[in-house]
């Protein structure tokens, strides 16, 4: 037992010693020549593996086409972007331990999360809804008491359901495919997630016409890119990248590519959200 305690003590000391060696994210990128991002493999169209087995998406494009050029300009040398899978449960530890430098997926900016990580500007706005089989009696959050509802583990939606409708039988799955499988087979009556994710899931389903997205947004989900806390130089670079993209029309171009009428998941940008994005761009 004594030996065990001393091993634990050494581990604790090691983890305490790490901050002394810390370098800023920009220094790390300059040293390694790599910007490592944490993103998703199964959240179309933000980050997913497409039919040609390529790992692509809107969030990935924003990093590669809007943020990477600004990082390169700042460092004066080319960098490459490396992608890693990050789930809601792993993304903050991945960031904190330095395994990734930026979370560019589908992460909602929240106040508790801001105590652990910093966020970029909001790059996408959505809200939670329900995906149900065509003909289901569920029409929104008012109908789910006593029903079996799937949600994504570690998401803000599960938390809201638990607080607002304690009578709902919540089943939380670690990823979308398992939750969708449960919905298909009837283990659950509805699957709740951010509206845009449900739209992505529906578009990718074998028969999209069998599924309906119902309900008003019962939550506000502003997506931001997360980065390590107290690294304002890197945050500035990320934000400048996003601002320049919104200003130059690059953002609109990428939005059209993924969410336009012919995009992966058609989801028109509302005038309200467009205005919100533009208001975040501060003057040059």
Partner 1 sequence: MTYQFQWSVLWSGQSGSWLLQGVLTTLGISALAWVLAAALGILSGALRTVPWRSLRAAASFYVEFFRNVPLLVWMFFWYFGVPPLLPRPAQEWLFNHGAEFWAGTFALGVYHGARMSEVIRSGIQSIPRTQFEASVAMGLTTFQAYRLVIVPIALRLIVPPATNESLNLLKNSSVALTISVAELTFQTRQIETYTAKAIEALTAGTLIYLVLCVSIASVMGWVERRVRIPGLIARGG
Residues that bind partner 1 (CB under 8 A): 15, 18-19, 22, 88-90, 92-93, 96-98, 110, 112-113, 115-117, 148, 150, 153-156, 158-159, 169, 171-174, 178, 181-182, 185-188, 228-231
Counting Cα atoms < 13 Å in the Cβ hemisphere of 46 gives: 28
Q: Which residues make beta-bridge pairs with 39? A: 85
Classify strands 128-133 and 42-43 as parallel, antiparallel or unpaired. unpaired
- Please state the closest distance from residue 154 (CB atom) to partner 1, in A: 5
Give the residue with the Cβ less far from partner 1, 110 or 136: 110
As measured in angstroms, the least distance from the Cβ of 82 to partner 1 is 20
**Residue 153 C-beta: closest distance to partner 1, Å:** 6
Nearer to partner 1, 14 or 282 (CB): 14
| Residue with smaller CB distance to partner 1, 9 or 96 | 96
DSSP H helical segments within 136-175, as ranges?
Answer: 156-164
| Angle separating helix axes 232-248 and 250-259, nearest 10 degrees | 80
Nearer to partner 1, 175 or 244 (CB): 175
Token code pair at residue 276: 């919100």
* CB of residue 155 to partner 1, shortest distance in Å: 7
Rounded least distance, CB 263 to partner 1, Å: 30
- Which residue number, 108 or 122, has a Cβ lying nearer to partner 1? 108
Q: Sign of the CA dihedral 203, 221, 115, 65?
A: positive
Backbone angles phi, psi at 23, to 5 degrees: -120, 160
- Among the listed residues 18, 22, 59, 65, the one whose alpha carbon sits nearest the alpha carbon of residue 37: 59
């Amino acid at each position: 037992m004594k030996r065990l305690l001393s091993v634990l003590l050494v581990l604790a000391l090691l983890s305490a010693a790490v901050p002394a060696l810390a370098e800023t994210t920009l220094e790390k990128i300059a040293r390694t020549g790599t910007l490592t991002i944490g993103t998703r493999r199964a959240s179309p169209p933000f980050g997913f593996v497409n039919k040609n087995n390529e790992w692509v998406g809107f969030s990935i494009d924003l990093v590669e086409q809007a943020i990477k050029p600004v990082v390169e300009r700042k460092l004066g040398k080319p960098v490459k972007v490396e992608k890693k899978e990050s789930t809601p449960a792993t993304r903050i530890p991945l960031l904190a331990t330095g395994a990734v430098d930026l979370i560019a997926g589908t992460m909602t900016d929240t106040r508790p999360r801001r105590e652990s990580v910093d966020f970029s500007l909001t790059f996408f706005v959505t809200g939670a809804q329900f995906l149900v089989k065509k003909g289901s009696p569920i029409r929104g959050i008012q109908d789910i008491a006593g029903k079996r509802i799937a949600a994504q583990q570690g998401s803000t939606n599960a938390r809201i359901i638990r607080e607002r409708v304690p009578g709902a039988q919540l089943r939380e799955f670690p990823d979308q495919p398992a939750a969708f499988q449960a919905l298909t087979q009837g283990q659950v009556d509805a699957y709740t997630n951010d509206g845009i994710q449900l739209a992505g899931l529906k578009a990718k389903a074998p028969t999209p016409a069998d599924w309906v997205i119902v309900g008003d947004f019962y939550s506000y989900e502003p997506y931001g890119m997360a980065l390590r806390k107290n690294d304002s130089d890197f945050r500035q670079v990320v934000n400048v990248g996003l601002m320049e993209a919104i200003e130059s029309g690059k953002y609109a171009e990428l939005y059209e590519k993924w969410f336009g009428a012919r995009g992966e998941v058609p989801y028109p940008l509302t005038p309200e959200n467009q205005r919100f994005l533009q208001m975040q761009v501060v003057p040059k």
